[in-house]
Structure 1
Amino acid sequence: MFNVVRERDPPRWTKRAGAQPTASWMSYMVRELLQDFQMNCLQVSDSPYDEDVANTLPMKHYEFPTGYNDDFGSVRLMIPEALFDPSNVKGVGASILGVGPLVTTSVGMCDMDIRPSLYGSVVVTGGNSCLQGFSERLNRDLASKTPPVGISLYYQILRNSMSMRLKIISANSSSERRYGAWIGGSILSSLGSFQQMWLSRQEYEESGKLILERCA
């Protein structure tokens, strides 16, 4: 139980008597709280993070289960910026790619013939894609880096009378985006043609991980 406190005042709450929640339940509720804070407060900046610009945006009020409440300003944009520029995170440096470079690097590792198709169907899914402004920022970052990718690809595009068209595909529902990978996996596993691709535990134990490469 908690008492209502003024903004930024320390929370005043007491534990309920009786059975206490398990560690797994507490872990689940912490994740739910973080997701709720993410959905209601955090926002991806339209361009690389600029504190002066961030301070001009409206603040958002959020109340935690303990009763503590506050208005959040520039931090709303600073936290999700790590997804696009991980170098701002201490101890990470340039060892991790941001979302934009991750897409361009992944596409660049594929055959040249299919790169236009890949850029034309960039699927945005997962919990972080629910952040306000995520798809718009990704679209801007990719639009400035994708076409044309290399001279050879440029000539190939001219030869085939094609144009590199970037398209971000994002489900309207936040639930569908958050669980898109699981939904897609369930659809794939239910296909009749996929049933022949299953590997048994016995097959894996006999051949090890090399059997996955042979099946691929």
Structure 2
Amino acid sequence: NGSGIMKAGLAGEERPSLVFPSYVGRPKYKKVLPGSMHEPEYYVGTEAEQNRGLLKIRHPLSHGIVENWTDMENIWRYIYNSLQTMPQDHPVLLTEAPLNPVHNRERAAEIFFETFNVPGIFFSAQAVLSLYASGATTGVVLDCGDGVTHAVPVYDGFALTHSITRIDLGGRDVTDHLMLLLRRAGYIFHTSAEFEVVRQIKEKNCYVATIYSSEDNYFDDPTKNASAYLLPDGRPINLGAEKYRASEILFSPDKVGLEYSGVQECLLNAIQKADIDLRKTLYSSIYLAGGTTMMPGFGERLLSDLRKMSPKEIKIKITAPPERKLTCWLGGSILSTLAAFKNMWIKKQEYEDEGKRILH
């Protein structure tokens, strides 16, 4: 249930059956030609992607928190229709970012139990599932997605809840900053559909600079090292320093006036909050997860910054699984097939008997 990308499928599958952007599009214009098919009130999934130029796009999730429950329900309904499954036949494993508001979980459970009539539900932190998919039981997961970055230390299968750190900074903020940098360069993007174009520019061209000042020297002449990107309408735009300056906000949010710590500090704080006897193990068992960590140079920059901030004798090892965009879903797919997991579902009858307090 990601802020940027939804992944859905049946337990036991090796890959999600559905992977699509987490947004709902509504038509901006009225149809003027008679005889055409009935126009849907909203579009989700591939249809929303294909028609985005005609749509006003809204993301129901912002920084891991649902802000529009009607659209969130529409996305979940689209998933059931696409999978051709009946909600009452299958319990649901739903992922969420750690340290989310209590209300978010309660409202989600209410919709699944009362609207979709599911037999059971289980909420799991994204990072824990990512570690599970990597085949490890000990480590610290840095999950950097579209809306949230969080670091979760896990030791022998136990999440160290007091050590979890979170910052509301992710890939969407990088896209926002890239849009601003392109505007300064003379390229104007302002509609919700054009925001998705900028996101694609980011995914295909942006990278993280290992040494920021060195990149500045490399791009001191804006025209010398620029690369061209072709927009959907055929117009080319030149990308220079924007390619690495956009992603720099992940490591130096203060450059754009944000009062967050960077992702490297988020990770370091999580390790430092753990018991002193566990820290050495956690330093050598860092796992990356989330689509934003796929950006070229992310792991190298993280390692470089951690070495500067950590004791010299500490061995730091970062594992970046190639499928880390999907490891959270894969972990959930594996976990929900285990026989022992059947006792962990919150059943509908239990929810009706005990109410919302059973969710916590």
Q: Given the two structures, how large is their TM-score scaled by the length of structure 2?
A: 0.43
Whether 1:197 and 2:344 are equivalent positions in the alignment is yes
Unpaired runs of 5+ in structure 2?
1-32, 60-192
Structure 1 contact 59–71 (Cα < 8 Å) conserved? yes
- 1:69 alignment partner in structure 2: 236
- 1:147 alignment partner in structure 2: 311
Structure 1 residue 127: Cα displacement: 1.1
- 1:154 alignment partner in structure 2: none
Whether 1:171 and 2:171 are equivalent positions in the alignment is no
Q: Which digits, 9 at most, give the CA deviation of each residue in 1:196-216, with x for residues without a partner? A: 22223554562535753xxxx
* Greater relative CO, 1 or 2 (CA 8 Å, sep 6+): 2
Q: Which amino acid aligns with 1:67?
A: G
Q: Which amino acid aligns with 2:270?
A: S
Quote the Cα distance in structure 2 between the aligned partners of 1:65 and 1:166.
43
Q: Which amino acid aligns with 2:273?
A: M
Unpaired runs of 5+ in structure 1?
1-16, 149-162
Structure 1 residue 141: Cα displacement: 0.7
- 1:47 alignment partner in structure 2: 211
Counterpart secondary structure, 1:112: coil
Structure 1 contact 49–78 (Cα < 8 Å) conserved? no
Whether 1:103 and 2:280 are equivalent positions in the alignment is no
- 1:136 alignment partner in structure 2: 300
Q: Given the two structures, how large is their TM-score scaled by the length of structure 1?
A: 0.68
Q: Which digits, 9 at most, give the CA deviation of each residue in 1:102-141, with x for residues without a partner? A: 0001111222222112111111121111111011000101
Quote the Cα distance in structure 1 between the aligned partners of 2:349 and 2:262.
39
The ranges of structure 1 where at least 4 consecutive aligned residues each deviate by more than 6 angstroms after the TM superposition are 17-21, 28-32
Q: Judging by fraction of residues, say which structure has more helix.
A: 1
Aligned length: 176
Quote the Cα distance in structure 1 between the aligned partners of 2:195 and 2:342.
34
Q: Which digits, 9 at most, give the CA deviation of each residue in 1:158-211, with x for residues without a partner? A: xxxxx6321110023xxx121222222222222222222222355456253575
